[in-house]
Amino acid sequence: MTEYALEINGLKKVYDNDVEALKGIDLKITKGDFFALLGPNGAGKSSTIGIISSITNKTDGIIKIFGIDIDQDFPKAKSFLGVVAQEINFSQFEKVEDIVITQAGFYGIPKDIAKERCKNLLKKLSLWDKRHDQARSLSGGQKRRVMIAKALVHEPKLLILDEPTAGVDIELRREMWDFLSDINKKGTTIILTTHYLEEAEQHCNNIAIIDDGSIVEDTSMKELLSRLSIQSFVLDLENEIQELPNLPIFDLKSQDSKTLTATLTKDDDLNSLFAGPMYRQAMKELKIKTECRFKNRGPSHIIGIESRGFVMGAVLAYAMKLPFVMVRKAGAKYPGELLEESYTLEYGEATLTLQTGLLGHTDRCIVVDDLIATGGSVLATKRLIEQTGASVLGVSTVIDLEYVRKEPLHLDIAYLERIK
């Protein structure tokens, strides 16, 4: 039988000014879930939480916390519940440690046990060094973490977080989510209210969307995302940016100087967001390093190895104003006669081909490919070029997988990044 952490049936709330905040909502949240309650401002999220935690009186409906009806035994139901509200609800003049220990006293927890729990929570939330500081000296993010410690000191089975990341910087936000994910894995049911789908997507298993006082969606996160036509990604940046990158095909917005939100269509992914800028940067670096290494040695041709060597080699040849020559796999059609060179692979043998008449004895070539692994294709290309009487100045690649090679290549290799 399914055990529910929270059951809501027919919940209504009408305020004195006749505003109907909740219109008979129904919701069931399974024990151990990480659940998102999503909705715009004014949708009814805060009213729902206020009623669950007894801050606000309901007009009608039934609420059960781990099977306990709050109308029949609220003290017991409340002992299962911890709430982190949006508003700071402790004295700014109290010390951090006292705030948490005092909260434990409201649940009849002995002082020695409360002190030990307080110590554990403050350490996990990176607040232990602030335990003797007055709350007014803390940052907004630190105050938010004190709220979490305060809500957890009586070890509730259900934790409700109302917009918990408001005012929290990127690094502390990550620490907070790591901590919350950890306690969820240990059995605490968590309900997150937010108006950011990206935040819910990262952490929650199931989701309900509330709008204008009604539940309009109640499903798994995976199923909901499969029906969306757009997707958003939150990008945490290492360094601050002064202006947004120029990416006209994407909806890019700045949340703050180190956080961007990128909106993509369902058919796109993060690769499509970064591929263009990353490719342009890679080609820029490849051109600079290749020119630094080889320009004074009089290169005459750029040689691209099929197939990714074509993508980079052709652009590099254009940038350096040099002719581009393709080395292709066996079976490719040429208008003229072919030279061939075979090389050994782990799973067999492969052959590369080069059309005759494209290179001569005075030509000096730079070979371009995406990476060097065993070096087989590069050495076969070198032999092909030397069959024509031309020489090889060296090889330019983006990646050199030196660790997979059994023997050194004895080539002059320019590369952007070495992976060992």
Residue 180 has pLDDT above 60, yes or no: yes
Contacts (Cβ under 8 Å, ≥6 apart) of 259? 170, 234, 235, 236, 237
Return the closest-CA partner of residue 158 out of 183, 141, 177.
Answer: 183
Q: Are 4-228 and 276-418 equal in CATH topology?
A: yes
- In terms of Cα–Cα distance, which of 154, 14, 150, 140 is closest to 78? 154
Q: Which of 87-96, 252-261, 323-332, 396-405 has the lowest mean pLDDT?
A: 396-405
CA angle 289, 292, 298 (to 5 degrees): 120
Mean pLDDT of 113-124: 94
CA distance 221 to 235: 20
**64, 6 in Cβ contact below 8 A?**
yes
Query: Per-residue confidence at 167, pLDDT binned at 50, 70, 90?
Result: low
Q: Judge if pTM exceeds 0.75.
A: no
What tokens appear for 358 in the block?
Answer: 């494209």
Predicted confidence band of residue 272 (pLDDT cuts 50, 70, 90): low
Looking at 3.40.47.40, 3.40.50.2020, 3.20.20.140, 3.50.50.60, the CATH number of the domain 276-418 comes to 3.40.50.2020
Mean pLDDT in the chain? 84
| Token pair for 371 | 């990476």
End-to-end alpha-carbon separation of the chain, Å? 53
d(CA 54, CA 122): 27
The full set of domain ranges for the chain reads 4-228, 232-268, 276-418
**Which of 17-26, 253-262, 397-406: highest mean pLDDT?**
17-26
pLDDT at position 414 is 42
The answer, yes or no, to whether residue 419 has pLDDT greater than 60, is: no
Q: Looking at domain 4-228, which CATH architecture does it have?
A: 3-Layer(aba) Sandwich (3.40)
Q: How confident is the model at residue 397 (pLDDT cuts 50, 70, 90)?
A: confident
| 372, pLDDT greater than 80 | no
Nearest to 320 by CA among 340, 304, 337, 300: 300
**pLDDT at position 259:** 78
- Which residue type does 313 have? G
Number of H helices, E strands in the chain: 11, 20
